[in-house]
Amino acid sequence: MKNIFAALSLTLLLAACNDSKSTPAKSSTPVNVTVLGLNDFHGNLEATNFKIPDPADATKQIPILAGGAELIGGYVQQEKTKNPNQLFVGAGDLIGASPVTSSLLRDEPTVLALSQMGMKVSSLGNHEFDQGLKELKRMQNGGCDSNDTSKACKFQNPYPGASFKWLGANVVDKTTGKTAFDPYEIETVGNVKIAFIGAVLKGTPNIVSPNGIATLNFLDEAESINKYVPELKAKGVDAIIVLIHQGGAAKDGYAVPACGTLTGDIVDIVNRLDPAVNAVISGHTHQGYNCVVNGRTVIQGDFYGHLLQRLDLTITPSSKKVEVRAMNVLMDSRTLPKDPAMTTLVTHAKALTDAVKQAPVGTIATASISRTNNAAGESALGDMIADSMLAGTAAQNTQIAFMNPGGLRADLIASGAGNSVTYGDLYAVQPFGNNMTVMDMTGAQIKAMLEEQFDNGGTVGATKVLQISKGLTYSYDSTAAKGSRIDASSLKLNGTVLDPAKNYRIVTNSFLAGGGDGFTTFKSGINVLQLPNVVDIDVFVAYIKANPGVAGGAQNRITKTK
């Protein structure tokens, strides 16, 4: 009898295994999914100026207000009513280098806004690391254990963290070799599984404060992404989208579809990606483009949320066929609805920060002072900032100041009558909160450091000309051999050639002092004095207050001979 029951049980088991309902075949019915991407938002909760072609005259451009949380949220909600199969994602630099409304609250309003909009995942960006790994982990996971308790948990206490995940397939712990953040995430929508793999540019260590990422390695982007493709295939995903904080530039405008003019680091990365990757949402270079590289869509949406990247996918699960239609969508304040929930959030953030933002500081000579470089790499605003650093550390007997051009995030624009400027106007220029660092460097070290301006960051031809304070002058030949581009005889302080063996007291910010932007010679300075209570924005404010009607620099400190 036992044998009869055993045989019957086996028969029933085999029948169950052969029942098609237990392992349903993939559907042959196509599924439409909309993916909306945001890159380089930089905490711009409010709409900002953006120029678009004039419909009446294509040779001209007209200014509009675009971006901001209210418009982005309004569009995301509007489109979700049209297609519930929607995924909202990011391509890095969602926070960092942000305006006062977000930055004075440690960018927590921005993270909470994106979470409320329904963002699912984002690649890491280099600016996510501005305050170091520990603070970034707090931004992800929540809590008030911040390295700046004067700003943390002031918007909402306790800060709950992001509901979306930051992804970094190429960001690994130096000790364990494991990724510091999840490398990918799989989202199921409309009965299809879409995998998002995140990566940040491998050159991140060259452009963020080294101390904050000392425990991390940033690996090759394409190799790191490809590593996880077999794993995702084994999990049966129907499509793979790469979110990467690296980009390029294209001659075509953001509205030109399937452009073929894309150049830059992103092109090599895309050319080396596994064929299973269906599309690439990119960032970092603050460009708007919608291109095709090696048969794949590669798209970027400008910056500050002016454009949202949109991928309309048609996915056939049974065949794994993925059709991609791509476009950049203008977040136009003239036509799009505002999300009431975002209006409430932004209003709250402004109420907490407007008093500081609108505080008057002083006046400048003109309506604006530009950060645009001349042919030698010097800007009027860069001159002014360097001079403010020198003035702000006069008590430390400093003689020369150096400022990195990437630290100037906007032109200085007077928002009030009579060219008056507010704290918010100045903060828009310098939002990082870097401390002043004073040290001794020999004339030879200063020349060696200035040589690091060229072929900077390991990229052939890349140049980052430091902004210098009054009194220091020099000329350079960009065609000369590496290490010999600065004319030593022209490197002078107040008209006297720097003595290679003599020490000079210099000041820079904590970012450069730690070797940021590839200027490693700063780390060889001696008699180093960290000034934790002397911050870049504070010395800038003090300088404007002390010099009513101050003008931008004459851009005559650096000369390019060839």
The neighbour count for residue 459, using CB atoms within 10 Å, is 12
Helix (H/G/I), strand (E/B), else coil: 425: helix
Residue ranges, the chain, pLDDT below 50? 1-23, 458-461
State residue 24's pLDDT score. Answer: 58
Q: What architecture is domain 358-560?
A: Alpha-Beta Complex (3.90)
Q: How far is CA 199 from CA 89, 123, 227, 283, in A?
A: 13, 6, 12, 11
Amino acid, single-letter form, for residue 508:
T
At 219 the three-state DSSP class reads: coil
- Contact indicator for 422, 360 with CB cutoff of 8 Å: yes
CA 18 to chain centre: 52
Name the CA dihedral angle for 146, 150, 156, 157, rounded to a multiple of 10 degrees. 70
Strands (E) in 331-454, as ranges, are: 360-363, 368-369, 400-403, 412-413, 420-422, 435-442
Are 33-349 and 358-560 in the same CATH fold? Answer: no
- Report cis status (omega within 30 of 0) of the bond before 158: yes
Q: How many CB atoms lie within 10 A of CB 416?
A: 13
User: 554 CB contacts (<8 Å, ≥6 apart)?
Assistant: 380, 383
* Amino acid 501: pLDDT: 97
Alpha-carbon distance of 89 to 69, in angstroms, equals 14
Tokens in use for 189?
């929508």
Rounded-to-integer distance, Cα 319 and Cα 316, Å: 6
Q: How far is CA 250 from CA 99, 264, 266, 287, 486, in A?
A: 28, 9, 11, 8, 33
**Could you tell me if 193 and 187 are in contact, meaning their C-beta atoms sit under 8 angstroms apart?**
yes
Strands 496-497 and 503-509, by their bridges, are: unpaired
Work out the angle at residue 213's Cα, subtended by the Cα atoms of residues 218 and 123, and round it to the nearest 5 degrees.
55
- Would you list the DSSP string of 96-114? SS--HHHHTTTTHHHHHHH
What residue spans define the domains of the chain?
33-349, 358-560
Q: How far apart are CA 386 and CA 402, in angstroms?
A: 6
3-class SS at 513?
A: helix
> Running DSSP on this structure, what letter comes out for residue 58?
E
d(CA 7, CA 40): 65
241: Cα within 13 Å, side-chain hemisphere: 36
CA 146/CA 383 separation, integer angstroms:
33
pLDDT the model gives residue 455: 78
Cα 289 to chain centroid, rounded: 17
The token pair that represents 302 in the structure block: 């400008």
d(CA 198, CA 164): 13
Q: What are phi and psi of 342, to 5 degrees?
A: -75, -35
Cβ 183 vs Cβ 198: under 8 Å: yes
Q: What is the C-alpha to C-alpha distance for residues 501 and 478, in angstroms, rounded to an integer?
A: 25
The pLDDT value given to residue 354: 96
Token pair belonging to 333: 């304040």
Distance (Å, rounded) from C-alpha 457 to C-alpha 405?
14
Q: How many CA atoms lie within 13 A of 118 on its CB side?
A: 20
Task: Enter the tokens of residue 135.
Answer: 């603070």
pLDDT in tens, 116-145: 999 999 999 999 999 999 999 999 999 999
Tell me the per-residue pLDDT of 208-265, one tens digit each, with 9 for 90 and over: 888 899 999 999 999 999 999 999 999 999 999 999 999 999 999 999 999 999 999 9
- How many Å is the Cα radius of gyration of the chain? 26
Q: Which letter does DSSP use for residue 456 in this model? A: G
Tokens of 544: 């404007």
Among candidates 18, 48, 95, 116, which has minimal Cα distance to 345?
116
Superfamily of domain covering 33-349: Metallo-dependent phosphatases (3.60.21.10)
Within 19-107, where are the H helices? 69-82, 100-103
CA 93 to chain centroid, in Å, comes to 3
Structure tokens at 99: 């305006």
For every residue of 105-171, DSSP letters joined together read TTTHHHHHHHHHHTEEEEE--GGGGTT-HHHHHHHHH--S--S-TTTTTSSSSS----SSEEE-TTE
Helix, strand, coil tally for the chain in percent (to 5): 30, 30, 40
Beta strand pairing call for 496-497 and 492-493: antiparallel
Task: For residue 137, count CB atoms less than 10 angstroms from its CB and return exposed for 0-12, middle for 13-18, buried for 19 or more.
Answer: middle
Reading the block at residue 193, the tokens are 């599984």
